[in-house]
Each structure stands twice: as C-alpha cells, then as structure tokens.
Amino acid sequence: MHVPDGFLDAPTSLATAGVAAAGIAIALRGARREVDDRIAPLAGLVATFVFATQMLNFPVAGGTSGHLMGGALAAVLVGPYTGLLCLTVVLAVQSLLFADGGITALGTNVVLMGVVTVVAGYVAFRGVQLVLPRRLSMVAPAAAIGALVSVVLSAATFVGLYAVGGAVPIPLDTLLTAMVGVHTLIGVGEAVITFLVVASIVSVRPDLVHGARRVLDVRTLETRVAA
C-alpha cells in the first residue's frame, strides 16, 4: 500500500511527516527499554524479513495483489517501539533506493504502514491476549488477529488522509468501501503470514518473542507453585 507522491497534497504530506517524526521520536525513546543483547540482532532480522516479504505480492481477488505490511508481526516479535523503528528503516530504504512509495509521501507511508499497523496491531494483539487463555499456543492466533486489524485500520486511515488532502475529488464512501474491502482480503493474507512466522518462532525460541514474555512469566510461576 505504498502511497506514491502526488496522491495527497503538500500540507497533508507535511502533517503526516510531522506525525511520523513524532512517532519515530517516541519509538527511539521506548526502544531503549526494549532493546537488549537478544532483541538487537532479532530486530535486524525482523526488518530484513519484512523487507523481503514486502516484495512478495500475493494475488487477492480480481487481478489485485497485496503484500505483508508487517507492523503487527514486528510489534509482536520485538516490541512496538523497536517494531516501528524496523518498519521505518524498511519504508525509508524502499522509498529512497527502490522508488517504492514517494519521497514526499514517506511520512504518510511511515504513518500508514508503520505507526498505524504497529499501534493497531499491538493493541489488538494485547486485547486478544487478555481474552484468550494464557498459553504459548495462543500467541500466534492473537498476533494473526492483530495483523488483520492493522491492515484494515491502515486502509481506513488512508481514506481519512485522502478526505483531508486527496488530489482528485472522489466520493469518500466509495473510496472507503473499496479500500477496506480489498484490504480486508489482504489483511487475511497478512494474518496467515503473521500466524505462520510467529507460530514457528514461538515453537523454537519462545524466549525471543516479545509478545510471549507475559505468557512465559505466568508459566514459570505456575511451575514454581506446582513444585
């Protein structure tokens, strides 16, 4: 969903750049608490994986394709602050080196595919985790639901931005229906990929998964009580 230059007017792009910068500043502060010797190499890997996976457009209905955004995945794996930093690096490299997503639209893309997917994905993930039983096997399903929510909200946020500063006047309800419709399908793909990646890492190294820590803490406590 990389927004090219020209879809949104200059004031809107400037505003989203400001929001993106604020988000990155908050993430840089917050990441200090998340990044330790284990998370640091994992963050590099997560960013690389998100970049690679974003090249893999999968077909959805009717000659349209979509690709992983990765915000929810990154947030669950390395934490939301570090996750946003990972996504920011990916989006900046795509924009500057590969001309994928505009340069004046970079702030917009960091907001849509970074801030919104990370925050929405992580909040939904945590919310689902509260409801589901605290088991390791529930981490991946919760991440998958977070992934679906993140993509749909990202698409809806684009419509909101377009309502403010869209280049060509078009009926917004039509735009909202079209964007949310197609991105619900893409969101299902995002959920499947996120589920598979999180499930496979949780099965091998649950201690590396940020979103599994609370579950692991509980498990340790239970073991001690039983002993």
Partner 1 sequence: MIVGLLVALLLAGVVSLWASASPDGLNRVAGDLGFAGAEQASGAQDGPLAGYEVAGIDSRWSGGVAGVIGCLVVLACTSALMLLRKRSTPRTVGGE
Q: In the complex, what is the shortest distance from the CB of residue 3 to partner 1, in angstroms, rounded to a whole number? A: 7
* Contacts (CB under 8 A) with partner 1, residues 54-113: 55-60, 63-67, 82, 85-86, 89-90, 92-103
Helix axes 71-78, 39-54, angle to 10 degrees: 170
In whole angstroms, how far apart are CA 47 and each of 80, 81, 105, 166, 168?
Answer: 13, 13, 20, 30, 34
C-beta closer to partner 1: residue 49 or 195: 49
C-beta closer to partner 1: residue 127 or 206: 206
- Give the Cα separation of 201 and 180 in Å (integer): 30
Tell me whether residue 156 is exposed, middle or buried, using C-beta atoms within 10 angstroms of its C-beta: 0 to 12, 13 to 18, 19 or more. Answer: middle
* Contacts (CB under 8 A) with partner 1, residues 148-187: 155, 158, 166-168, 170, 174-175, 178-179, 182-183, 185-186
To which H or E segment does residue 59 belong? strand 58-60
In whole angstroms, how far apart are CA 119 and each of 41, 59, 113?
Answer: 22, 26, 10
Q: In the complex, what is the shortest distance from the CB of residue 80 to partner 1, in angstroms, rounded to a whole number? A: 14
# residues near partner 1 by CB under 8 A:
69
Q: In the complex, what is the shortest distance from the CB of residue 138 to partner 1, in angstroms, rounded to a whole number? A: 23
Q: What angle do CA 116, 35, 157 make, to 5 degrees?
A: 5
- Interface residues with partner 1 (CB under 8 A)? 1-7, 28, 31-32, 35-37, 39-49, 51-53, 55-60, 63-67, 82, 85-86, 89-90, 92-103, 155, 158, 166-168, 170, 174-175, 178-179, 182-183, 185-186
